[in-house]
Structure 1
Amino acid sequence: MLMSLSAVLIVFAQPAAIAPECASESADVGYEALAQGQNERAQREIEANPDLDKNDPSRLINLGIAYARQGDEAKAREMFEAALQSSDRAWLETANGEWVDSRHLARKATRMLDRGEFSSTNVAMR
């Protein structure tokens, strides 16, 4: 299923401002907390959001990043793999305005995990 998730922003560099038309309170996928390096808070917010389907690729990828940044590589890998294998697909907007398939981002996140790139706070998402 291809779905539009305008409230999602994956940033693999510096956090970027989100255009107001892209923001949605009900689709909070932990962007603010991740952008501030508050990974545990991001994890709690994402898991507590009743508006996010458990198989939502943005939820899975963001949870994966939160887990990875907390040092839980096994859970992070599980989330990235679930996003990659999900029957749901989404086009996610990157910081530079590019729309990227969620499976591509899940593969990229897995490679970053393999290289240990989540040990710093250079990843945030919305």
Structure 2
Amino acid sequence: MQKVLAFALLAASVSPAAAIAADTADSNVQSVDVAYEALSEGRTAEAIASLDGSAAVQTSDPAALINLGTAYARQGRIAEARAMFTAAAESRERYSLEMADGSWVDSRKVAKLALKNLEKSNGIAMR
């Protein structure tokens, strides 16, 4: 059984926010709370409160980990963001994520891109 997550980029740099998980085996749509609305509306603290310690994060759900990392990065919590993106990249779970441009990308690749952009942004901020 493969899960497919719709993903949207909030900015040109990877600031992902997952929306919906669908079980493609039987086409039942299952809502997964990964703080999509809070992130897309700029309510970063609310997103962190929703995701931090959630079952999705505890079970290493890549979408939840990436979104929590995104929220941490927005607050300048770079080490915590890096830890979430790394956990998503190394998660046993793996999804195809739909990006804002309509392309589908493996969750591990999205997590690695988020890490790369985090390091790039952090380096620019330090100059």
TM-score by length of 2: 0.73
Aligned residue for 1:4?
Answer: 3
Aligned-pair distance for 1:48? 6.1
Aligned mates of 1:47, 1:90 — CA distance in 2: 21
Aligned residue for 1:72?
Answer: 77
Aligned residue for 2:125?
Answer: none
User: 1:20-99 alignment to 2 at 5 Å?
Assistant: 26-47=31-52, 49-50=54-55, 52=56, 54=58, 55-99=60-104
Instruction: Tell me the C-alpha RMSD between the 2 structures.
Output: 3.0
TM-score by length of 1: 0.73
Provide runs of 4+ in structure 1 moved above 4 Å. Answer: 18-22
How many aligned residue pairs are there? 111
Aligned-pair distance for 1:21? 9.5
* Structure 2 unaligned regions, length at least 5: 23-28, 123-127
Aligned residue for 1:120?
Answer: none
Aligned mates of 1:111, 1:104 — CA distance in 2: 10
Aligned mates of 2:19, 2:39 — CA distance in 1: 18
Residues 89 and 107, structure 2, Cα contact 8 Å, conserved in 1: yes
State the identity %: 41
